[in-house]
Structure 1
């Protein structure tokens, strides 16, 4: 067990850099500000004014989280090649979503939508469907925020910091500057976070392999370690190559994750904060550069295997901090630890803002205060963002960390069930609103039932032990596995199609589409697109 007395240099550097970025978070309240922060367009979307560079850093900081920094290498450490699914998933995600995101930007700026549920409400004329989308987004985001704490906790554990007080203080500071500055805080901090991540990874892929004797030794050591027999499963821990049983899982996991990535409310928050469709196109072309960094991050798992790294108290999320601590001098280990810890701040802030906006716009305003002013909506979102962060801390303090990881796993499958109404809804109004509701219910039930049936012998979990569902459960004589989320969303769409035919045949009343075809194609500066949203509804610029 690491001792704090041996890590005072690392701790000092982490504290100094953490204080620095926290100060930036508070200063960000006046950075590039046009209108009053008493408006969701300003507080929650940064005035919808971020250009290509800011959007690139914001989305990169949002999508590549602290948990990614520790979880992807941990997956390769535990299972080998299967963990590389994260690389093709991020590569195909950006070209896959570029055109839908451009359409979402246009219709949202035309109508002033702040959340994906706002769009669904207008597109299908259904407050029920919008409520389901909002609840889905909040539920899927909560454990995701909690897991940013896992990244910070892994660093604190590696330094021997006792108790949970430092963790609580870190998120308290995050809560305060997010409340004060809104989306501008993570946008500004993202510059520092990304610079630290790039620096640490470039140094790591040069220094660590050299210390281990070269890349031959890295892959050779990883292959040998993965070939050892797990006493719980009585099978090899993993392999450097995929096999016939997990190839389908790999493909569907990558594709399903790519489809889900920009359905998360925090991802769309970053997109809607950009100032034009052109900015989105440039970012979708440039963001795959982060996939290169992610591939290098993933290789840390193999480096840890080759170096003989053992996780602290069996917690695989600590392998990267322990690897850094073993391979780097104290001063650079401190910088590396700070990169992981600060890497939690940007996504956690954006996630809490995205979830808070869903609550305010699609639950509070829709069902409790239809006449809520812009100022009231902004205030409710600020308070909701605090509650969301408190709930995230509660996940870590009250529940077992592994349980939080399981919930995040479920969250990815849950958010996929909004694909028909949000993503397909950008292209077609053919689906009946009750058909989409039926599809959502079917996909959710199928996904959760399948997850419940998956055990994990390595952890002793009888249920919710992973996302790979064996086809043998369908009565087939096969060990091939498939990603639950992909299967569930296919069921969702099929049920939605069938239910739509039934509703139309019965002439069931459908909602009114409040959007027009042109709304999905407009660009910044076109008639109908507001340049300064914060100036509407009586909110004056400061």
Structure 2
């Protein structure tokens, strides 16, 4: 029964997404394919943007972190709220640059703002690498769902491969417009599911109410609700929380897929409205942390001691088959809706910013075809990575944010400082990656700045080097600078 319900949810959503995309879409140009024709109003943009609040990471990663670590899972609350405070300022600027200069991908922005097509290639490669890791999060989660909730209905490699195939199927024919349909379905399902589980879970783990779950968890596991949580040796103290939250907030809108989501909006007003209300939507992380604590009270023992599967195990052992089926089907959508957007972004970035500089005569139709082929190849890379690594979902996410954070100074300075140069941005990226990945880096930063998130340290070094090198190199021309810092006449025209 569980397998049948899960399959029905996924197939019905896939058919609806493809059908909606075909009806709403136009001819397969890169604009329609990659940014939905730039026509998403407040409601559709809400669902696309909410896809970043409710992913499979939110449900399994945060509940698993609460199960294994306790209070460090509060990172979800702080990072999301900070992210949208920044997004209120940054996303409309990204949207304006995209609309004014016909940009489709994040590397398009770098190439135009810094008058350096080669910088578009560099940032495209960095962005693709970070997004492959992000796709890995979705596939690791799908493997858990199949293994635990669906009783190992498929071998491990089969579950991961199936997840990649379904992500591709959601968007292969239509692009971003089909992804927004699946995002809407999964958002409705996950809110109903999370609230339903939170309301009923107390009775299943011996607690009198939802709040009593927290009381019992603290009673049986002293310190679970306070930093550093259940594993003091992990050094997850207040310094870790603040620096990790800042790293996530500064890196969030720098992810290439969120640039493309910003480009898809119909207006800057739609973006700002979402930035105001989305933090309230993320308060439902309270219920997800609650479920992680409940799994601990319920004596859950995840397969192979993998905390990522704590909530999956709790639902599987405590609820009837039909609930398990709805849970599994919703989790599939939580992975596939955001995952499909990630694949579209990687494919369009490869076609426009890696392949097109090598093939200047590439047509728009050819770019769409190349994007589809790149999606398949990059999904294969993500499958390979997933089969080699079963790290904590939070840890994998922080790896992705550390990598993409190297582009953050180039994005923020593009809108803040007219003097920023392409050579400065490149030098900053190189310095940041050295600070992050050099053999000496881990030990050195642990001693110099205990418990700091390494990604934030590397981002700070990146920013300092970018500014220093920009001061001694030639700035881009006025037309390029205006992509990020518009002249007064343009600002007045947009205000009208």
Same fold (TM over 0.5): yes
Corresponding residue number in structure 2 for 1:93: 83
Q: Tell me which of 4, 13, 18 is aligned to 1:26.
A: 18
Note closer, same or farther for the CA distance 1:244–1:447 as it changes in structure 2 (3 Å cut): closer
Following the alignment from structure 1 to structure 2, what is the Cα–Cα distance between the partners of residues 442 and 105? 29
Please say if residues 126 and 511 of structure 1, whose CA atoms lie closer than 8 Å, have aligned partners that are also in contact: no
Q: Which residue of 1 aligns with 2:289?
A: 298
Q: 1:276 aligns with which of 247, 250, 267?
A: 267
Are the counterparts in 2 of residues 57 and 191 from structure 1 also a CA contact under 8 Å? Answer: yes
* Other-structure match for 1:4: none
Question: Where do residues 104-253 of structure 1 align in structure 2 (5 Å cutoff)?
Answer: 104-158=94-148, 159-161=150-152, 162-163=154-155, 164-211=157-204, 212-213=206-207, 214-215=209-210, 217-224=212-219, 226-227=221-222, 237-238=230-231, 246-253=237-244
Distance 1:445 1:224, change over 3 A: farther
Structure-2 residue corresponding to 1:232: none
Uncovered stretches (5+) of structure 2, i.e. residues with no partner: none
Q: Deviations over 1:43-89 (max 9, x none)?
A: 11111111111110111124421122111111111111111111111
Match in the other structure for 1:498: 468
- After superposing the two structures, state which structure 1 stretch, 74-83 or 509-518, moved more: 509-518
Q: 1:324 aligns with which of 311, 315, 320?
A: 315
In structure 2, what is the Cα distance between the partners aligned to 1:344 and 1:188?
Answer: 14
Task: Work out which of the residue numbers 498, 501, 514 in structure 1 matches 2:480.
Answer: 514
Q: Which residue in 1 is equivalent to 2:62?
A: 72
Q: Number of matched residues?
A: 485
| Structure 2 counterpart of 1:538 | none
Could you say which structure has the higher helix fraction? 2
Indicate how the Cα distance of structure 1 residues 263 and 520 shifts in structure 2: closer, same or farther if over 3 A, else same. farther
Equivalent position SS for 1:114: coil
Aligned pairs for 1:428-443 within 5 A: 428-443=417-432
CA contact (8 A) 2:114 2:422 kept: yes
Partner in structure 2 of residue 535 of structure 1: none
CA drift at 1:337: 1.8
SS of structure 1 residue aligned to 2:104 = coil
For 2:101 and 2:33, the matched residues in 1 are separated by: 18
Conserved 8 A contact 1:69-1:151: no
Give the deviation of 1:15 after TM superposition.
1.0
Q: 1:82 to 1:220 in 2, by over 3 A?
A: same
**Contact 1:143 1:405 (8 Å CA) reproduced:** no
Q: Provide the rounded CA distance (Å) in 2 between the counterparts of 1:10 and 1:520.
A: 60
1:200, distance to aligned residue in structure 2 (A): 0.7
5, 23, 44: which one aligns with 1:13: 5
User: Gaps spanning 5+ residues in structure 1: where?
Assistant: 1-8, 230-234, 455-468, 529-542
Q: What is the distance in 2 between the residues matched to 1:513 and 1:501?
A: 19
Structure 2 distance, partners of 1:291, 1:338, is 21
Paired with 1:42 and 1:341, the residues of 2 have a C-alpha distance of 26
Correspondence for 1:263: 254
- Distance in structure 2 (CA, Å) of the matches to 1:53 and 1:305: 37
Closer, same or farther in 2 for the Cα pair 1:329/1:347, shift >3 Å?
same
The answer to which of 492-501 and 84-93 deviates more is: 492-501
Change (3 A) 1:418 1:451: farther
Number of the residue aligned with 2:329: 338
State TM-score, norm by structure 1.
0.83
Task: Tell me by how many angstroms 1:129 deviates.
Answer: 2.4
Superposed CA deviations along residues 313-347 of structure 1, whole A, max 9, x for unmatched, are 21111111111123322212211221111111111
- Secondary structure at the aligned position of 1:274 is classed as coil
Provide the C-alpha distance between the structure 2 equivalents of 1:136 and 1:520, rounded to a whole number of angstroms. 33
Superposition deviation, residue 118 in structure 1: 0.8
Using the size of structure 2 for normalisation, the TM-score is 0.90
Q: Is the 8 A contact 1:193 1:343 kept in 2?
A: yes
Measure the CA separation in 2 of the matches of 1:442 and 1:361.
Answer: 26
Kept in 1: contact 2:61–2:394 (CA 8 A): no
Q: Deviations over 1:478-512 (max 9, x none)?
A: xx411111111111111122222333xxxx57566
Within 1, Cα distance between the matches of 2:478 and 2:431?
A: 24
